[in-house]
Structure 1
Amino acid sequence: MLRYLLTEDDVGAVRFGISPLSELALSLRAIQYPARFPLQLGWLRRTEAARARLDLRTLDGLINERMWTPDFLNPRPESPLTRIEDEFATLLATPSGAVRADLIAVHGRVPDVFAGATSPALRRIVRALRQLWETCFEPYWPRMRAVLEADIVYRGRQIAQAGVAAMLNGLSSRISYEHGVVSVQLSDPRDRTYPIDGNGLTLVPTLFTRRASAPVGEGPPMIMYSARGQGALWEAERIANPAAVAALLGETRAHLLADLGDPASSTELGVRLGVTASAVNQHLRVLRDAGLLVSTRYGRSVLYLRSELGTALLETRAG
């Protein structure tokens, strides 16, 4: 069990972040154990040929049979706008002692593939991860990031409507909050308790954890949890046609309206419905101008959500 002790000030300083580098590292779980990540089988199918050309020996050395990865690959993001190039630069500057200590924490020793001087091993790790990024992540990152950003917007709405405690208790069945203590049930048999002490607790949504994850060592306070909305990430979703609304709005706009019970970006919606992003944007503007949707900018994305008027309109289809 991992426990973080929060003061009243710490509760008010809980924040969210997105780490592309952490997604890269955690994706090694799905690559090694695909049956445990059914929601990412679409990504695994799409990247199968590219993954065959990767430096798999190096990548395999970054994960153990318990699906742990070294803490230097899971940095605490400072915001939801973290850039992968900035994280690669920071990774290359990781002190040799920290690299060795984190590898030993995961494997019990430094794996043979990283034996010898640490600097060449670290450069090899970055090369392998960069290749994984360019071939298997970069083409799909906009839609992946859209799901992660939408999750953060949803959690923000929870905080506004019900408070931080309700949000924390809704992250995962393995995460609970009570009386200033955030408890995380992990596969790690160790019993660890850390006071936040003004260092801030960062919550990181991810596509590659089933319940909850945390640093292996005594890293910055951070919890990685499974992001919402992954079910439709890799397949074009065909929503049942609400006939009455479709007759009024048209089929595509009716589908969009029905699909926006949770925040989503035009990129994500285009993938779900099999429509180009430009066409989706045009429909979304019309629906927003009619008062059926609301929108908010989040980082580089604009997220859309069905308004109360839009919900009321959909509910009339049963009459």
Structure 2
Amino acid sequence: MAELLFPARDVARVRFAVSPMWQLTTGHRLSASGTADRVHRSWLAQVRPRTAAAGLDRGWLAELLPPDSGYVPDFLNPAPAGPAPTLAEELAAIAATPAERIRADLDHLRHHRGGAGPRARALHADPAARLPHLLREAERYWELALAPYWPRIRALLEADVFHRARQAARHGTDRLLNTLHPQVSWDGTGLHLARRARTLARHAAGGGLLLVPTAFKGPGLSTRIAPPDPPQLAYRARGTGRLWEPRTAPATDALAAVLGRARTRLLVELDTPAATAELARRTGFSAAHVSENLTALREAGFVTSHRAGRTVLHARTEVAETVLRAAR
């Protein structure tokens, strides 16, 4: 059991963040593991073929995020500056990581794995030259595996934060910390982490505490201790088991009167991202008709499009999700 001293000033600095990079690192490791995960089965079935076709199952991320190692290089999960950083902001923070920090993390990864692959060695030798390759691959993985699903994932994470913030407001920070995760407990002076042997000296951990909900973590707790940043605790978000469940079809007559029946039908069908040909097959519309209406929906901010190899996947935006919820 590890203990992190937790004086009053740190209690006052407890905060949450929805981090795209935490979703990327945990999602990539799950995808690379080959595990037939019950919760994420449908997501994995769609994502694994795309990322493999793009070579992302054997690139920089595959070396730095091996599923057989418990350690993730700390520089890949920078401390979010605010409650909801964008992927671009987090990639910029990674790009600004000092070379000595990257080398120290890679040394730690090599210790955990008993060796280092060729890309990890190249990054260790020349971080400035090699880091841009890693960042471009991270962007590519995001585009293929996470961007089409981000409104749904982000809604899950924000719901978790809302629930826990309300819990703290009603019952206090002690209830928040003692119900966060089975491995976490707080006794009023210290935060205790079960099944963690490494001590957490307050002076070596930075001030405050950053709580990061994730969609792709297993049941365990992940920590990031990289002073002067606050310690990060990443945990599985509430409701993750229902993340990919089909949503109740909305009553769409009123919405169709505004958007038209074809566009409303396409929004309903985009409960999971799909290509133009797939949408044409499902709806019976011609591919040209689907394409024309998707263009209109995209220009209005209801749909985003993401290239996956030679296929373009279309996905609902948060605006569309809000409109459909209102129509239910």
Please report the TM-score for the alignment, with normalisation by the length of structure 1: 0.71
The 1:198/1:67 distance shift into structure 2, 3 A limit, reads closer
Q: 1:27, CA displacement in angstroms?
A: 1.6
Match of 2:283 in 1: none
Q: 1:217, CA displacement in angstroms?
A: 5.2
3-state SS of paired residue (1:155):
helix
Aligned equivalent of 1:236, options 239, 246, 257: 246
Match of 1:44 in 2: 44
Give the residue type in structure 2 aligned to 1:130: E
Match of 1:304 in 2: none
3-state SS of paired residue (1:125):
helix
Give the residue type in structure 2 aligned to 1:208: F
Q: Give runs of aligned pairs for residues 1-319 of structure 1, distance below 5 A.
A: 1-35=1-35, 37-52=37-52, 53-55=54-56, 56-64=58-66, 65-108=68-111, 110-115=116-121, 116-186=125-195, 189-194=197-202, 199-209=207-217, 210-215=219-224, 220-237=230-247, 271=271, 277=321, 280-283=324-327
Moved >6 Å (runs of 4+): none
Question: How many aligned positions are there?
Answer: 257
Q: Which residues of structure 1 form unaligned runs of 5+?
A: 240-249, 253-266, 285-319
Is the Cα contact below 8 Å between 1:18 and 1:82 reproduced in 2?
Answer: yes
Q: Write the distance in 1 (CA, Å) between the matches of 2:141 and 2:107.
A: 23
Q: Write the distance in 2 (CA, Å) between the matches of 1:54 and 1:7.
A: 47
Q: 1:198, CA displacement in angstroms?
A: 7.5
Give the residue type in structure 2 aligned to 1:283: A
Q: After superposition, what is the alpha-carbon deviation per residue over 1:59-105, rounded to whole angstroms, capped at 9, x for unaligned?
A: 12112423321000111112222011111112112111111111111
The 1:153/1:36 distance shift into structure 2, 3 A limit, reads farther
Is the Cα contact below 8 Å between 2:75 and 2:102 reproduced in 1?
Answer: yes
Match of 2:259 in 1: none
3-state SS of paired residue (1:167):
helix
Q: Write the distance in 2 (CA, Å) between the matches of 1:67 and 1:124.
A: 24
Q: 1:184, CA displacement in angstroms?
A: 1.8
Q: Write the distance in 1 (CA, Å) between the matches of 2:244 and 2:192.
A: 32
Is the Cα contact below 8 Å between 1:54 and 1:128 reproduced in 2?
Answer: no
Q: Write the distance in 2 (CA, Å) between the matches of 1:121 and 1:2.
A: 35
Q: Write the distance in 2 (CA, Å) between the matches of 1:235 and 1:83.
A: 26
Is the Cα contact below 8 Å between 2:174 and 2:188 reproduced in 1?
Answer: no
Alpha-carbon RMSD: 3.0
Is the Cα contact below 8 Å between 2:213 and 2:237 reproduced in 1?
Answer: yes
The 1:208/1:193 distance shift into structure 2, 3 A limit, reads farther
Give the residue type in structure 2 aligned to 1:54: G
Is the Cα contact below 8 Å between 2:206 and 2:231 reproduced in 1?
Answer: no
Is the Cα contact below 8 Å between 2:185 and 2:192 reproduced in 1?
Answer: yes
3-state SS of paired residue (1:225):
strand
3-state SS of paired residue (1:80):
coil
Is the Cα contact below 8 Å between 2:16 and 2:210 reproduced in 1?
Answer: yes
Is the Cα contact below 8 Å between 1:208 and 1:226 reproduced in 2?
Answer: yes
Q: Write the distance in 2 (CA, Å) between the matches of 1:121 and 1:198.
A: 29
Moved more, 207-216 or 108-117: 108-117
Q: 1:189, CA displacement in angstroms?
A: 3.8
The sequence identity of aligned pairs, in percent, is 31
Is the Cα contact below 8 Å between 1:73 and 1:91 reproduced in 2?
Answer: yes
3-state SS of paired residue (1:137):
helix
The 1:76/1:197 distance shift into structure 2, 3 A limit, reads closer
Q: 1:111, CA displacement in angstroms?
A: 3.3
Is the Cα contact below 8 Å between 2:2 and 2:197 reproduced in 1?
Answer: no
Is the Cα contact below 8 Å between 1:175 and 1:183 reproduced in 2?
Answer: yes
Q: Write the distance in 2 (CA, Å) between the matches of 1:72 and 1:8.
A: 28
Q: Write the distance in 1 (CA, Å) between the matches of 2:4 and 2:187.
A: 11
Match of 1:243 in 2: none
Q: After superposition, what is the alpha-carbon deviation per residue over 1:218-276, rounded to whole angstroms, capped at 9, x for unaligned?
A: 5531111110111221120569xxxxxxxxxx989xxxxxxxxxxxxxx9xx949xx97
Q: After superposition, what is the alpha-carbon deviation per residue over 1:274-313, rounded to whole angstroms, capped at 9, x for unaligned?
A: x9736534336xxxxxxxxxxxxxxxxxxxxxxxxxxxxx
Please report the TM-score for the alignment, with normalisation by the length of structure 2: 0.69
Give the residue type in structure 2 aligned to 1:191: T
Q: Write the distance in 1 (CA, Å) between the matches of 2:205 and 2:136.
A: 36
Give the residue type in structure 2 aligned to 1:227: A
Q: 1:195, CA displacement in angstroms?
A: 5.1
